[in-house]
Amino acid sequence: MTIKIMASRTVFRRVLQASRRVQLQRAVVQRSIVTLPHIQKKNTQNVTSDQSYSQLRSLCTKPGEGMVIHIQDENDFQERVLNSPLPVVVDFHASWCGPCKLLGPRLESLVGSRKGKVVLAKCDVDGLEDIAMRYRISSVPTVIGFKNKESKEKFIGLQDDDIIETFLDRLIG
């Protein structure tokens, strides 16, 4: 008798936990897709009212526009990083890397505060293995500063904002 009661309690607990997970997933999905129809008036793109903010976010194509670029292939790396007239900070990251997810927004913020003096390029090491091997990326996140077609500065891992600011100042100056 007690074994049946214990088993039924265990089953009840599991069903309750599963239903809570489903409710939480539904809540997260509903909150993560936020429609912003008022952006349509401000944005010059043809935007429908059911598009989310993440769809409206554009990547820069020219230095000075957005200061964050995503490297697609080796030719893109050559054109946007090595041939750039501005210093470029390349963030070698991976989508599965926890510290990379923390460092990325901080780098974007600090590069954005430099008001067009430096560009941030994001390079996914899983998709661009040849570039990662060329620059001997053995761990992520690794950040390399490029200026005048060559690498100047480098740091590995999650760093404090002061260290990143010093890194950017040395690269710009």
Catalytic residue numbers read: 97, 100
Distances (CA, A) of 163 to 78, 104, 112, 166: 27, 15, 16, 5
Residue 11 CB-density burial (10 A; 0-12 exposed, 13-18 middle, 19+ buried) = exposed
Q: Are 14 and 31 in contact (CB under 8 A)?
A: no
